[in-house]
Amino acid sequence: MARTISILGATGSIGTSTLDLIRRNREDWRVVALTANADAAGLARLAREFDAAVAVVADERALMELREALAGTDIKAAAGPAALVEAAARGADVTVAAIVGCAGLAPTMAAIEQGGVIALANKEALVSAGDVMTAAVARHGATLLPVDSEHNAIFQCLQGNDLAHVRSITLTASGGPFRDWTLDQLGRATPAEAVKHPNWSMGAKISVDSATMMNKGLEFIEAFHLFPVGAERLRVIVHPQSIVHSMVEYRDGSTLAQLGPSDMRVPIASALAWPARMDTPCDPLDLAAIGGLTFRAPDEVRFPATRLARNAVVEGGAVPATLNAANEIAVAAFLDGQISFTRIVQSVEDVLLRGVPAAPVCLDDVIAVDAEARVRANELLERVN
Ligand code: NDP
């Protein structure tokens, strides 16, 4: 019998990779909701192709275009943040959370409240909401499956094992396009250079995060919540080839790793088919052609983001949500040409140094912390410019 699926962020890099897999296995899936921010034309095309029940744009200015593009179909068109939450709350066997940024938090929480499987790519939502999200998952009997390649790798390496036997979990990092650049060169890095990732094809925001290593910082916080072994057992190692996606070391000295091509369709397929497996169109891994796998320690002088994230996990409370929001503002300002590359992480640290609100205990609290941090981050950026 076909399973139902909703894709939040259907027009993005993860969304289209997911739909590519669905397209190849059309009879296995029935599409409920597809969402986008403002790309009405792209969303309507996908909604028509996959015969979605509902298509939602977050940006209300795009509704007219969406309605026109869906004219003559039975697909319901809607717009705005509340419509996004309503679409997620329709429930589906699998909801792929692939909106970028904390904007994905409320719809992801709405999907969690319906139970079912949440295939989580939207790391910012878990970083910001942390315990609030994991508690909701437990309360509503939902299943949170990580799509982020590192966390999906860890999830796979943990199957059949007990967390109590884990000695350490190591997240691998490609190091991004600037991993060998000097601090001087980093100060002059342009947005065009930052979004050109050497191994992965991804959206602009995560590409910049990868270049600053904030992506690994966010992933550290994500891992802390998904795999509760304690922050002191979580490590980061730079692995430029992006073939080993992460590793788990056990108390007996065994280290299990998951390897695969740098193609997000592999971890997405793992989440869609779990606990079974499905085919992907990816080329088999050719280790002889790759030749060598190398590893090195991260350099937190040039890339301090992982230090900030580790501290954020230790401090807890509203710190991770503040870090995430400040980073979203800084990345947008960098992409917009307003600040330099090295200023991104500096400005996150500046926002954190100004103090954070009380620990959030519910979704509204998290949204308030996020909003406050954005205001502070914008104020600081205006002062510097
Ligand atoms: P993209 O920028 O490619 O796509 C983002 C999606 O979210 C688009 O559908 C976009 O719509 C939608 N969107 C953007 N802003 C909003 C908003 N304010 N409200 C509602 N929807 C919005 O991002 P990616 O696919 O690269 O990343 C998505 C998430 O997955 C991120 O959290 C990222 O960290 C994570 N991830 C991504 C990986 C990758 O390989 N790309 C790997 C691992 C994790 P529109 O098209 O209209 O702008």
Does 138 lie in the same domain as 249? no
Site to substitute for ligand 1 among 99, 105, 145, 150, most atoms within 8 A of C-beta: 99
Strand ranges across the sheet with 54-57:
76-79, 54-57, 29-36, 3-8, 94-97, 117-120, 143-146
Q: Which of 189, 177, 198, 21 is nearest to 98 (CA)?
A: 21
The verdict on the CB of residue 119 being under 6 Å from ligand 1 is no
Question: Domain range for residue 348?
Answer: 316-385
Ligand 1 centroid distance, CA of 245 (Å): 21
Q: What per-residue confidence (pLDDT) applies to 385?
A: 63
Ligand 1 centroid distance, CA of 9 (Å): 6
**8 Å CB contact between 282 and 266:** yes
Measured from the CA of 16, which atom of ligand 1 is nearest? 25
Which CATH number do you get for residue 378?
1.10.1740.10
Q: What per-residue confidence (pLDDT) applies to 197?
A: 86
Measured from the CA of 11, which atom of ligand 1 is nearest? 9
Give me the residues of the chain with pLDDT under 70, please.
385
Q: Please list the residues that pair with 31 across neighbouring strands.
A: 5
Each residue's pLDDT tens digit, 89-132: 999 999 999 999 999 999 999 999 999 999 999 999 999 999 99
The verdict on the CB of residue 218 being under 6 Å from ligand 1 is no
Beta strands in 190-243 (DSSP E): 234-238
Task: Give the three-class secondary structure for 82.
Answer: helix
In a domain, 87, yes or no: yes
Burial track 249-273 (b if 16+ CB lie within 10 A, e otherwise): bbeeeeebbbebbbbbbbbbbbbbe
Does 18 lie in the same domain as 52? yes
Domain boundary among 146, 163, 193: 146
Distances from the Cα of 235 to the Cα of 120, 141, 155, 253, angstroms: 21, 30, 16, 16
Each residue's pLDDT tens digit, 273-295: 999 999 999 999 999 999 999 99
| Number of neighbouring beta carbons within 10 Å of residue 51 | 12
Q: Which two tokens stand for residue 2?
A: 């076909």
In a domain, 207, yes or no: yes
DSSP code of residue 282 = P
The verdict on the CB of residue 217 being under 6 Å from ligand 1 is no
What residue's CA is closest to ligand 1, atom 27?
A: 100
The domain tally of the chain equals: 3
Secondary-structure percent of the chain, ordered helix, strand, coil, rounded to 5: 50, 15, 35
In a domain, 124, yes or no: yes
- End-to-end Cα spacing for the chain: 57
In a domain, 311, yes or no: no
In a domain, 211, yes or no: yes
Measured from the CA of 14, which atom of ligand 1 is nearest? 25
Does 132 lie in the same domain as 8? yes
Task: Give the three-class secondary structure for 54.
Answer: strand
Does 162 lie in the same domain as 39? no
Does 130 lie in the same domain as 236? no
What residue's CA is closest to ligand 1, atom 31?
A: 100
Burial track 9-19 (b if 16+ CB lie within 10 A, e otherwise): bbbbbbbbbbb
Does the bond joining 275 to the residue before it have cis omega, within 30 degrees of 0? Answer: yes
